[in-house]
């Protein structure tokens, strides 16, 4: 074999190996060199954001609060309906634990919470892959998709917000998916949860793991607009979805090798919700929210919107 042919074959082998390496980095959540593909919203959060240990509420700085109207119950908070321009509907997909090294002071406790892992698989890597698949499906149907890191843009306003995560129990025994939404928010949180739950369960065949829905899920910071600036608007229907257990062989195989199945279930649930609830219903009425409840309230009835 002459030297020119040998050199060509060597270069080809290097290119093939490089392609495999890039694919592996993307799949398993290595260095975040694919941030441009995901095009995250860059949150504008002040460096002087309040510390979560500061007990007095700071929500007045991040949400406009109206004076009570005649007939409003004592202690209730009235939030004016936002001004929303007509156009394609918007979906925010948060990739759990993505860019925890770039959070504001109020979220500093999350810096070390980089997510679960099992062998060569990381929560961030698997979740990134599924998030992009969900986004591609939604964009193909005309929706605008924002890929969000750990830091949520202050008062993020969209037709849907969904935080995607993978769980782990350290043993491989637990299986299934879990969901939760917050309290003191708009009236459509439960409907979004139910729609995604139904479609995701049907698509994946996974059981719903109600037993392990935690207080941390119910009190997820991105729902807590009254406590954190890095949170969604109370007008934005918002849920968290633990898509399965990375520590479980069956759940992991489904997420890693059949990500399109998970993505289809999530996208179907979101589109089902959007078909049921128009933007005019989400954003046309003030919210009248009850007084603050004790820490980590249950996800029972959501507050109602009022004219």
Domain range 38-306, CATH architecture:
3-Layer(aba) Sandwich (3.40)
Q: What are the structure tokens assigned to 140, written together? A: 């193909």
| pTM reported for the whole predicted model | 0.78
Rounded to 5°, the CA angle 279-97-104 comes to 85
Q: Where are the domains of the chain?
A: 3-31, 38-306
Residue range 187-240, pLDDT digits in tens: 999 999 999 999 999 999 999 999 999 999 999 999 999 889 999 999 999 999
- For residue 302, the model assigns a pLDDT of 32
User: Is the pLDDT at 122 greater than 80, yes or no?
Assistant: yes
Answer whether 231's CB lies under 8 Å from 169's CB. Answer: no
Look at strands 117-118 and 121-122 and give their pairing. Answer: antiparallel
70 by DSSP, 3-state: which? Answer: coil
Q: Is the pLDDT of residue 294 over 70?
A: no
Average pLDDT value over all residues in the chain: 81
Quick check: 146 pLDDT over 60? Answer: yes
Average pLDDT over residues 64-79: 85
pLDDT at residue 10, rounded to an integer: 45
- Residue 18: the pLDDT is 38
Q: Would you state the pLDDT for residue 239?
A: 98
What is residue 11's predicted lDDT score, i.e. its pLDDT? 43
* pLDDT tens figures, 147-194: 999 999 999 999 999 999 999 998 899 999 999 999 989 999 999 999
């Amino acid at each position: 074999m002459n030297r020119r042919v040998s050199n060509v074959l060597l270069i080809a082998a290097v290119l093939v190996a490089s392609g495999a390496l890039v694919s592996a980095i993307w799949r398993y959540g290595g260095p975040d060199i694919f941030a441009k593909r995901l095009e995250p919203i860059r949150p504008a959060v002040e460096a002087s954001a309040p510390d979560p240990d500061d007990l007095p509420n700071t929500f007045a700085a991040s949400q406009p609060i109206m004076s009570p109207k005649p007939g409003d119950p004592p202690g209730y908070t009235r939030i004016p309906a936002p001004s929303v321009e007509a156009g394609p509907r918007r979906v925010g997909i948060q990739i759990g634990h993505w860019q925890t090294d770039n959070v504001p002071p109020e979220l500093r406790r999350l810096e070390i919470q980089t997510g679960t892992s099992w062998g060569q698989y990381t929560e961030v890597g698997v979740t990134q892959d599924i998030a992009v698949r969900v986004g591609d499906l939604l964009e193909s149907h005309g929706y605008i998709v924002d890929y969000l890191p750990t830091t949520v843009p202050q008062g993020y306003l969209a037709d849907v917000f969904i935080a995607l995560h993978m769980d782990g129990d350290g043993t491989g025994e637990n299986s299934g998916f879990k969901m939760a939404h917050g309290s003191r928010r708009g009236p459509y949180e439960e409907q979004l949860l139910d729609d995604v739950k139904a479609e995701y369960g049907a698509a994946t065949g996974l059981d719903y793991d109600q037993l392990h829905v935690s207080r941390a899920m119910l009190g997820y910071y991105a729902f807590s607009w009254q406590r954190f600036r890095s949170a969604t608007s109370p007008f934005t229907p918002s849920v968290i979805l633990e898509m399965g257990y990375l520590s479980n062989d069956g759940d992991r195989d489904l997420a890693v090798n059949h990500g399109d199945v998970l993505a289809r279930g999530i996208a179907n649930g979101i589109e089902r919700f959007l078909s049921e609830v128009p933007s005019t219903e989400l954003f046309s009425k003030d919210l009248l929210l009850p007084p603050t409840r004790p820490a980590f309230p249950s996800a029972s009835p959501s507050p109602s919107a009022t004219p």
